[in-house]
A and B are shown apart, each in its own frame.
Chain A
Amino acid sequence: MYLSTVSRPVTGPPGPRRRRFAMVSGNVVALGTVSLITDVSAEMVAAVLPLYLVLGLQLSPVAFGVLDGVHTGATALLRVVGGFVADRFRRRKLVAGAGYALSTVAKLGLLLAGRSVPAIGAVIAVDRLGKGIRSAPRDALITLSTPPEALGRAFGVHRAMDSVGAFLGPLAAFAVLLAVGQSYDAVFVTSFCVAALAVVVLVLFVRERPDGEPADGPDEPRVSVREAFGLLRGRPARRIVLAAALLGLGTIGDGFVYLLLQRREDLGLRWFPLLAVGTSLAYLLLAAPLGVLADRIGRLPVVVGGYLALGATYLLLSGPVHGWPVLALTLALYGTFYACTDGVLIALAGPVLPARLRTTGIALVQTGQALAYLVSSVLFGLAWQAWGPQNATRAAALAVAVVLVGTLLLLAPPFRSVPRRVSR
């Protein structure tokens, strides 16, 4: 069913070299472009928001902590509801677009919120809501526009484009600040304009369904709530959602990883932001090649490899060896973990979820992972308190091993039959 509903925009003779590049569909490139532009916009704001709140508005740390209290639970629920709506009305593009539009409007909201902490909190919540709503339909569109054997590459290319945007955003923000002085408003307006451009690209270039797929006739039954709940009754779908949640339990979060690195290397605190930059760089460079690798050798081995890299990261963080080479290696491994898992996990999940319920399924996978991560980061905080940072990190490495065994037990048998790359 997959191959018949998906077009392959192969132009020219399908020679082995040419094919590698041609196999990312136009829709994936369009979605990647939208993500790239949107991330420029989002990271522009993220880069100057602390400056704006503290120096521009003179808010204090606890006021900022209040802003951070965003209801993850509510966002998670809305993500699944958004996924269901996208499936029921077969309007994935519309729901994704609504998510992008919400975040776009939020940029202007920052201008209007003034010094009111609740208003700024609400604006940030709207921004995150938009982000929560759009990711599942976007990923569903990628899976529906790509033959299953090329999903790894498609997600790899998409995630690489996405991180390029995240990379450029802060640079763009500082360029604006340099040009206009300390006018944060100008950064927000520029960010809004950039985000609006992304919505225009989405409207014009992203297609709801690939060429060749018939528009749904009136006789095609709509996805019902009951059918959505039934999704988890199917064994493969249930297993992938469980596995995603399980894998989420193995991660302690960027904040802790960078804090541990900073402490053990006694890094000047001013270099702190560069840790995230180093990780994104590795992620950006490796996302596409590892996606291609996932298509060749199977996605599960690549995800397993990613978690091995994560376990190694934790071991390095708790180990006796210090110095710059170790720091670089740790960041490279951590970036590899992201490159091996973020897109590849959805590429693994996509073919298992029925096309009718693809968005709901992906939303469940992402939500399961996010909620589990929330639990594990709290648990890690408690472990740190009880045993100190070093032993807590060793425990985290052990948790990764346990989680990996559990994931293999869940996923290995049914996923062996997932179509590999078409042989030449």
Chain B
Amino acid sequence: MTAMSTRAKIAVVTASAVLLGAVAAGYAATAAEPTRTPPPAAGDRAVTLTPGPRLLAITDRYVSAVAATDPSGPRTVSGLECLRVYAAAGTGVCLRPENAWSYQVVVLDSALRPTRTLSVPGLPNRARVSASGRMVSWTTFVGGDSYTASGFSTRTGILDTVTGATVTSLEEFAVTRDGRRHRSPDVNYWGVTFTADDNRFYATMSTQGRRYLVRGDLAARTVETVRENVECPSLSPDGTRMAFKEAVDATPAKGWRLSVLDLATMRVTATAETTSVDDQAAWLDDATLAYTLRADDGRPDVWSVPADGSGAPKLLIPGAESPSPLT
């Protein structure tokens, strides 16, 4: 090879290091996000969680509210930063950054004041409150466990705001799969939705490459499988139907179709939304679903579609995510 002297080699390496360092620094300088301007102070039009004809959503990372009759109209933005938010009966849940590397679940009262705070592992994914405002649930992603495996897992927790009882991970629950006791280290849960009795709930459970709708019992600490290929369930206000995302051809890589399962007949109806929906839908009323869609650059919009498969999707709240009716 070349007969370069050691000194010349060191000079080349040094020059490369300086050059590459300059490239990295230059890119970082141009890519640095401008510091976010804090949203305007809420003043007399503060966001509250008091039930009423308004929709809650996140705008540019801050909790905001719009009128249900004019969702794309004037928006009230609070000073509360959240990545996910949901509310019912005056209780809210917010998943927000605690510091640069960790996140927390915050339970909110109707004036958006924190009443309880829990540190959670991983990255915020789903958040729900039961219709009575008593039960709160959240899902986070937990990173790969080592540098040899990039396997991803989720943790789902439930908090009873009345007793303070907390389940930090549903993985502790006993599992019955297709009628038989199921024990496996790879069980993961995400996307809880509560029933009206505040004890039973539904969620997604994944194990051995399959994803199930499971029905759980908090008091008994058990879950049982109900149906395969149901993710991110969301129970309708009347408790008869389950909105969910159904993996196309049962293959999540192909995307998800927002669909509705009738719990009495177990029949599935696909909604008119044909774009892949990767969200836990929210019921605005017994006939309408709201959900987040993202543009290629990750910019979110909230859309709505009729739950019975009719009609067409329509843009509900532009530039917002994590919708929740204030019921």
Taking Cβ atoms with an 8 Å cutoff, the residues of A that contact B are 43, 46, 49-51, 54-68, 114-115, 117-118, 124, 166, 174, 176-183, 185-186, 189-190, 193-194, 196-197, 200-201, 204-205, 207-208, 253-256, 258-259, 268-270, 272-273, 276, 381, 384-386, 388-389
10 contacts between A and B (CB under 8 A): A54-B125, A59-B278, A61-B188, A115-B297, A180-B28, A186-B32, A254-B146, A255-B145, A256-B185, A276-B145
Kindly state the separation between the CA atoms of A207 and B16 in the bound complex, as whole angstroms: 19
Query: In the bound complex, do residue A270 and residue B24 qualify as a contact, i.e. CB atoms below 8 Å apart?
Result: no
Question: Could you say which of B33, B144, B148, B182 has the most chain A C-beta atoms within 10 Å of its C-beta?
Answer: B144
- Whether a CB of chain A sits under 8 angstroms from the CB of B96 is no
Question: Could you say which of A117, A176, A270 has the most chain B C-beta atoms within 10 Å of its C-beta?
Answer: A270
Contact partners of A50 in chain B: CB under 8 A: 123, 141, 143-144, 152
B30, chain A: closest CB distance, angstroms: 9
Contact partners of A196 in chain B: CB under 8 A: 16, 20
**Residue in B12, B150, B297 whose beta carbon sits within 8 Å of that of A200 in the complex:** B12
B61, chain A: closest CB distance, angstroms: 10
Query: In the bound complex, do residue A54 and residue B102 qualify as a contact, i.e. CB atoms below 8 Å apart?
Result: no
- From 105 to 150 in chain B, residues with beta carbon under 8 angstroms from any chain A beta carbon are 119-125, 141-150
With A61-B152, A196-B20, A200-B13 known to touch, is A272 a contact of B121 (CB < 8 Å)? Answer: yes
Residue of A nearest to B10 (CB): A204
Pick the 8 closest A-B CB pairs, nearest first: A269-B121, A254-B146, A193-B20, A62-B252, A181-B33, A186-B28, A180-B32, A64-B152
Starting from the known contacts A62-B211, A201-B13, 18 additional A-B residue pairs (CB-CB under 8 Å) come to A46-B147, A50-B123, A50-B143, A50-B152, A54-B141, A55-B83, A63-B278, A64-B152, A186-B31, A189-B23, A189-B24, A190-B24, A196-B20, A269-B142, A270-B120, A384-B183, A384-B185, A386-B183
Kindly state the separation between the CA atoms of A269 and B154 in the bound complex, as whole angstroms: 11
Kindly state the separation between the CA atoms of A200 and B15 in the bound complex, as whole angstroms: 11
Query: In the bound complex, do residue B28 and residue A178 qualify as a contact, i.e. CB atoms below 8 Å apart?
Result: no
Query: In the bound complex, do residue B12 and residue A204 qualify as a contact, i.e. CB atoms below 8 Å apart?
Result: yes
Query: In the bound complex, do residue B28 and residue A63 qualify as a contact, i.e. CB atoms below 8 Å apart?
Result: no
- Whether a CB of chain A sits under 8 angstroms from the CB of B298 is yes
Residue of B nearest to A256 (CB): B185
Kindly state the separation between the CA atoms of A186 and B29 in the bound complex, as whole angstroms: 9
Contact partners of B183 in chain A: CB under 8 A: 384-386, 388
**Residue in B9, B17, B101, B186 whose beta carbon sits within 8 Å of that of A174 in the complex:** B101
Query: In the bound complex, do residue B185 and residue A389 qualify as a contact, i.e. CB atoms below 8 Å apart?
Result: yes
A257, chain B: closest CB distance, angstroms: 9
- Whether a CB of chain A sits under 8 angstroms from the CB of B231 is yes
**Residue in A55, A58, A64, A118 whose beta carbon sits within 8 Å of that of B294 in the complex:** A58
Contact partners of A208 in chain B: CB under 8 A: 1
Query: In the bound complex, do residue A180 and residue B33 qualify as a contact, i.e. CB atoms below 8 Å apart?
Result: yes
Contact partners of A55 in chain B: CB under 8 A: 83, 123-124
**Residue in A118, A183, A254, A386 whose beta carbon sits within 8 Å of that of B253 in the complex:** A118
**Residue in A49, A194, A204 whose beta carbon sits within 8 Å of that of B9 in the complex:** A204
Kindly state the separation between the CA atoms of A389 and B12 in the bound complex, as whole angstroms: 54
Taking Cβ atoms with an 8 Å cutoff, the residues of B that contact A are 1, 4, 9, 12-13, 16-17, 20-21, 23-24, 27-29, 31-33, 35, 83, 100-102, 119-125, 141-155, 168-169, 182-186, 188, 190, 206, 211, 231, 247, 252-253, 278, 294, 296-298, 300
Query: In the bound complex, do residue A63 and residue B253 qualify as a contact, i.e. CB atoms below 8 Å apart?
Result: yes
Query: In the bound complex, do residue A254 and residue B145 qualify as a contact, i.e. CB atoms below 8 Å apart?
Result: yes
Query: In the bound complex, do residue A193 and residue B21 qualify as a contact, i.e. CB atoms below 8 Å apart?
Result: yes
Query: In the bound complex, do residue A177 and residue B100 qualify as a contact, i.e. CB atoms below 8 Å apart?
Result: yes
The secondary structure that dominates the A interface is: helix
B308, chain A: closest CB distance, angstroms: 25
With A56-B298, A62-B211, A180-B33 known to touch, is A259 a contact of B155 (CB < 8 Å)? Answer: no
Contact partners of A174 in chain B: CB under 8 A: 100-101
Query: In the bound complex, do residue B185 and residue A259 qualify as a contact, i.e. CB atoms below 8 Å apart?
Result: yes
A164, chain B: closest CB distance, angstroms: 14
Query: In the bound complex, do residue B150 and residue A49 qualify as a contact, i.e. CB atoms below 8 Å apart?
Result: yes
Query: In the bound complex, do residue B188 and residue A276 qualify as a contact, i.e. CB atoms below 8 Å apart?
Result: no
Query: In the bound complex, do residue B24 and residue A253 qualify as a contact, i.e. CB atoms below 8 Å apart?
Result: no
Contact partners of A197 in chain B: CB under 8 A: 13, 16-17, 20
Residue of A nearest to B207 (CB): A385
Query: In the bound complex, do residue B184 and residue A185 qualify as a contact, i.e. CB atoms below 8 Å apart?
Result: no
Query: In the bound complex, do residue B102 and residue A61 qualify as a contact, i.e. CB atoms below 8 Å apart?
Result: no
A259, chain B: closest CB distance, angstroms: 6
Residue of A nearest to B186 (CB): A381
Residue of A nearest to B17 (CB): A197
Query: In the bound complex, do residue B31 and residue A255 qualify as a contact, i.e. CB atoms below 8 Å apart?
Result: no
Kindly state the separation between the CA atoms of A114 and B297 in the bound complex, as whole angstroms: 7
Kindly state the separation between the CA atoms of A176 and B32 in the bound complex, as whole angstroms: 10
Query: In the bound complex, do residue A58 and residue B155 qualify as a contact, i.e. CB atoms below 8 Å apart?
Result: no
B141, chain A: closest CB distance, angstroms: 5
B245, chain A: closest CB distance, angstroms: 9
Kindly state the separation between the CA atoms of A259 and B169 in the bound complex, as whole angstroms: 13
B106, chain A: closest CB distance, angstroms: 16
**Residue in A181, A272, A276 whose beta carbon sits within 8 Å of that of B142 in the complex:** A272
A69, chain B: closest CB distance, angstroms: 9
With A54-B125, A59-B278, A114-B296 known to touch, is A269 a contact of B21 (CB < 8 Å)? Answer: no
Residue of B nearest to A47 (CB): B143
With A200-B16, A270-B119 known to touch, is A63 a contact of B31 (CB < 8 Å)? Answer: no
Query: In the bound complex, do residue A57 and residue B145 qualify as a contact, i.e. CB atoms below 8 Å apart?
Result: no
Contact partners of B122 in chain A: CB under 8 A: 269
A52, chain B: closest CB distance, angstroms: 10
**Residue in A58, A62, A204, A270 whose beta carbon sits within 8 Å of that of B102 in the complex:** A270
Residue of A nearest to B171 (CB): A263
Contact partners of A204 in chain B: CB under 8 A: 4, 9, 12-13
Kindly state the separation between the CA atoms of A136 and B33 in the bound complex, as whole angstroms: 41
Contact partners of B21 in chain A: CB under 8 A: 193
